A and B are shown apart, each in its own frame.
Chain A
Amino acid sequence: MSDLLVTGAKLLVFLGVFLGAIAPIMVWLERRFCAFIQDRPGPNRLGPLGLFQPLADVFKFFFKEDVTPSTPDRALYLAAPALAVLPALVTFVFIPFGPTVEIGERLVPLIVSDAPAGVLLLLAIASLSVYSLVLAGYASNNKYSLMGGIRASAQLISYELAMTLAVVAVLLPVGSFHLSDVITYQQENGWNVLPQAIGFLVFLIAMFAETNRLPFDLPEAESELVAGFHTEYSAMRFASFFMSEYIAMTTLSALAATLYFGGWDLWGIDDWLVSTGSGLFLPEWFWAGAVGMTILVAKAFVFLLLFIWVRWTFPRFRYDQLMRLGWKVLLPLALFNVVLIAALTVGGVL
């Protein structure tokens, strides 16, 4: 029973940080950073630096009229936004945010679910999010939406393969499917980003395609498809797509930080912080969790900033270019990387 309690507590903490803090900050950051790049102030009226703007946005979404188009598939139309939120809310449970700590008598790993094959489950559940885009496109009874949905499905298949292969290359020298082992490996051998440079590049590009962000936001492509798969959605239903995109971005950023940049570990500085903190007040497990979480979130934010930076810097790919890049460049690169890393691992270099 108390196992259930501990898991529930970890879930609440993580959910609070991801949903309650990062997603709204990202919405604010997107608008302010974009304004900075375009040399204008951006939303700066509500609260200090306009920080309360996301709050106002949420209220606006709640009170907007929810327009539903006439469609033969009303049930699917209503289910699509819910299906978007579901995988976004589940995937982060597989990301570790601290070491295994002692709370009283018990050892508690600071990860919500250290399931066997956790990384694979994360990728698997994340890939389910495409159904929401496809269904939204199909059930909207709108040709632009349908085009967006079709594009989303083809895009996901093209890029998921390269992404999974990049992750496989990370797991090869570690020899385990547990993300906590990946972090332990990096504590002993240095960050993965150096030996896995090719894999990291592939993962990074696939990350943009997976979250449908520019330069790969073909399912939305507002200059061609109005708003793509969510053309017919309004009010909170639209906001569901919007928020789940930000949560998915955050989760993938945290995954990238864990796979290639040491996760919650920071060259032993975190150990120093934990021991200093626990010497002052509050128990050690609290500090381990807080420091680990802070480092992980800080690393994830580097990627999140990159997401925004790229969005307002690069133009959108054309559809055939997207497919060509996925199948003819990224996939062979990822395969080459797997063979290279496998050879290095067997040769005892890694």
Chain B
Amino acid sequence: MEMVIFFLFAALAVGSALVVVLHRNPVYSTLSLVLTLISLAVLFVLLGAPFIAALQVLIYTGAIVVLFLFVVMLLNIGREEASGERGLLQKVAAGVGALALLAFVALAYWGAYGTREVGPLTEDFVSLEVLATQLFSDYLLAFELVGLLLLVAVIAATVLAARLGNTPGGGESDPALPEAGEEGI
């Protein structure tokens, strides 16, 4: 039963992720992203981490992707125009980027597990208490730095928005635009 659910949602996650990248209509891409994130949340539940699954749905599908959809619809981006032939440089850059990402993932995996036996997740590894304790002791520096990063992003967005507001016809005139600083959620 668990295997069936796992393979179903793993396939769904990979398939919808492919649609995100390949579909020409940004609205459909964004919707596929929702499907990807929900599939991942189901996989988290299967791993015995319902808290992380709930956060995944609450923060990513419930807020961030809604924001993506908001921007896509606000800017009224239609079907992506056929941008013609892609240059050789672009292809090479894309290949290098993909390889680098793969290398990073492999390195991270090797660093975390190495040659150790990989067992199933246990309650004292993913439970809320353990997660919170780890986050606020061992990983406190990383946690605070991420917070700082978000703060910087919020300030940057505010500065950009304020600068837009100074030019005639920008800023205040668009009532549908939310207050700056949403990016930091």
Write the residues of chain A forming the contact surface with B, with a CB cutoff of 8 angstroms: 73, 76, 115-117, 120-121, 123-125, 127-128, 130-131, 134-135, 137-138, 146-147, 149-151, 153-154, 156-158, 160-161, 164, 177, 318-320, 323-324, 327-328
Contact = CB atoms under 8 A, between A and B. Distances in A.
A177 B31 CA distance: 29
B70 A150 contact: yes
Contacts of B176: 147, 150-151, 154, 319
Contacts of A124: 54, 57-58, 61-62
Contact of A117 (B50, B69, B70, B179): B50
Given A131-B66, A134-B73, A154-B70, A120 B179 contact: no
B153 to A, nearest CB: 16
B146 interface: no
A127 B74 contact: no
A160 B63 contact: yes
Contact of B27 (A138, A157, A161, A323): A138
A130 B66 contact: yes
B72 to A, nearest CB: 9
A327 B27 CA distance: 27
Contacts of A324: 179
B61 A128 contact: yes
Contact of A150 (B50, B57, B73, B128): B73
A319 B175 contact: yes
Interface in B127-169: 128
Interface string B21-62: 000000100010010000000000000001101110110011
29 contacts: A73-B27, A117-B51, A121-B53, A121-B54, A124-B54, A124-B57, A127-B58, A127-B63, A127-B66, A128-B62, A130-B62, A131-B34, A134-B73, A135-B31, A138-B27, A138-B73, A150-B176, A157-B67, A157-B178, A157-B185, A158-B178, A158-B182, A160-B63, A164-B58, A318-B175, A319-B175, A319-B176, A320-B175, A324-B179
